[in-house]
Chain A
């Protein structure tokens, strides 16, 4: 009975929804990258958390260690993540999809490993902080404007707004891009790469472009995660976060950009709600329970509804 009361209380709490909203927005951007890779190009990127980490860490290092402006560090870090996508794609995108999955998951693990061990640069397990002064100014400015509509005391509201504005803008841009000839080539590669190649398309170049855009979106999600956490540490970028992105992707449906947003909201509401269950367990065990839930969700979705909530079955053509 008490369990239920606690849960309901949580759902009427605005802090809860702001927290969920920021995470959902961040993972929308994160999984939009997966959507263009997996849903529209048919390349199985298992290293999205690695690109997210490269983005966030490069930004943090440039600002904190090299004294760059935050606003200059953002594009530089995005380019770095895209370069990483290029480097990882060059040796592996020509190969079968399962090789690519192996290489990218290994890549994400190595990024985490470097973040943990290159202590001079990344701060190791202590993490890196002090990169968000510029954001704090912007946040304060937005908060002033929010004052007039009565949200002035919601410290995280500006981040929520900017995250979702970015996410929605990206959904629009990507949806339009998907209708261009360029977008149709990506889809053709997913359907039948040999046929696309026979039509004279340099499919390898298109796949690389798709991966680099995915990496840039990963990096972008990394900035929002970094601003949300206020410091970056290796454990925020573990390879397993890629698969929270996949749970979002599959829940929302393959080959649907809008579905990603839906999937992110559903999944993060679910995951954050587990925090309020009054379980007689230590925090680490509740965390374990949440990730078990993600694992089970992936298994059940793949077994029974691989196209997700909004996806179309005929778009599910990742045979081999």
Chain B
């Protein structure tokens, strides 16, 4: 933008390069900033407290990343800001509760059923609402408000059946594992492992399978992808299966990690999901994964400096900062803004 402005000869090329570098390399600049914050926190508060927060941050980062990747995929492919995504996490969590606690199945089976049924919910929402609206070429306001309406229906539908009292999954939330003076809950450790495996699987799928490449192509440019002969209906279906399925998984992991659920957990997390999505560049799946981890870490690191009740506000602060500094996000391209 400012490239065309003539610069005075006094300014050395070095300072100019230093100033332009973050703009040209946003991902590296963000990584450098993150590293600098980490070093500063380690010096100010000690390595051990920071390491403990980092562990906590990876736990929450894993489910934020899983939630965010689905949100961004749906946006990328369908240009739909799915405000109901948070409530899909809630749906997953309550389906797991239904099978795990009410019916008494093992948590693994309940979690798999939660993923499957949330994926089905996503596919159904497309068939009933989004596909007809695409055919009608609905405007932005229509889509945004329908997404909100769907969020209301899902959230309050759950409340209608399950009530408002907090629920827990049948998982062990007391045992924790200590090592090197740090500790992590046994269930949290499982959450991280499952979360990271799922994230790795998503990355590999997007990067190496034909389906993943087609999903990214559609997310990048829907019309162009359609012209090249990609079966867009099939990819839209796959996108919903992945996005909603991962939301269901994220919901189960969220509830397993924090111990209890209310009907608002998904909506409350939505803010962090949006922060992750926009930080990574809206529509960019890898960006959402990285963004989710960064938001998780930043929120936990912030508890070194601030009271822990403010950690959610850190996500919002990052969201606003990104919009001021680089609205395209760290992996996005500055074109469609």
Contact B160 A306 (CB under 8 A): no
Cross-interface CB contact of A289 among B143, B150, B160, cutoff 8 Å: B160
Other than the given A92-B320, A106-B271, 6 more pairs (CB < 8 A) read A109-B267, A282-B163, A292-B152, A295-B151, A302-B142, A303-B146
Query: Is B145 touching A246 in the complex (CB atoms < 8 A)?
Result: yes
Q: A84 to chain B: closest CB distance in Å?
A: 12
Asked if A155 is at the interface of the complex by the 8 Å CB criterion, the answer is: no
Taken residue by residue from 257 to 295, chain B's Cβ proximity to chain A (1 for < 8 Å, 0 otherwise) reads as 000000000011011001100100010000000000000
Distance between A235 CB and nearest chain B CB, rounded to angstroms: 11
Bound Cα distance A269, B40 (Å): 57
Say how far A309's CB is from chain B's closest CB, in angstroms: 16
Decide: B149 and A302 in contact? CB cutoff 8 A: yes
Stretch from A19-27, A96-104, A132-140 contacting the other chain: A96-104
Question: Which residues between 275 and 320 of chain A lie within 8 Å of chain B, taking CB atoms?
Answer: 281-282, 284-285, 287-289, 291-292, 294-299, 302-303, 306, 316-320
Q: Kindly supply a per-residue 1/0 record for chain B positions 137-148, scoring 1 wherever the CB is within 8 Å of any chain A CB and 0 otherwise.
A: 011111111101
Assess whether A288 is in contact with B160, with CB atoms less than 8 Å apart. yes
Majority SS at the chain B contact face: helix
Q: Which of A110-118, A158-166, A191-199, A209-217 contacts the other chain?
A: A110-118
Partner of B146, one of A91, A99, A302, A318: A302
Q: Is the CB of B316 within 8 A of A38?
A: no
In contact, A250 and B145 (Cβ under 8 angstroms): yes
A298 touches B271 (CB 8 A): no
Are A95 and B149 in contact, CB atoms less than 8 angstroms apart? Answer: no
Judge whether A44 is part of the interface by a CB distance below 8 angstroms: yes
Are the CB atoms of B144 and A110 closer together than 8 Å?
no
| The one of B133, B151, B337 that contacts A303, using a Cβ cutoff of 8 Å | B133
Q: Does A105 contact B (CB under 8 A)?
A: yes
Closest to A87 in B: B320
A110 lies within 8 A of B153 (CB): no
Kindly report which residue of chain B lies nearest to residue A250, judged by CB atoms. B145
- Complex CA–CA separation, A291 to B155 (angstroms): 9
Q: Taking the complex as formed, is A240 at the interface, i.e. its CB lies under 8 A from any CB of chain B?
A: yes
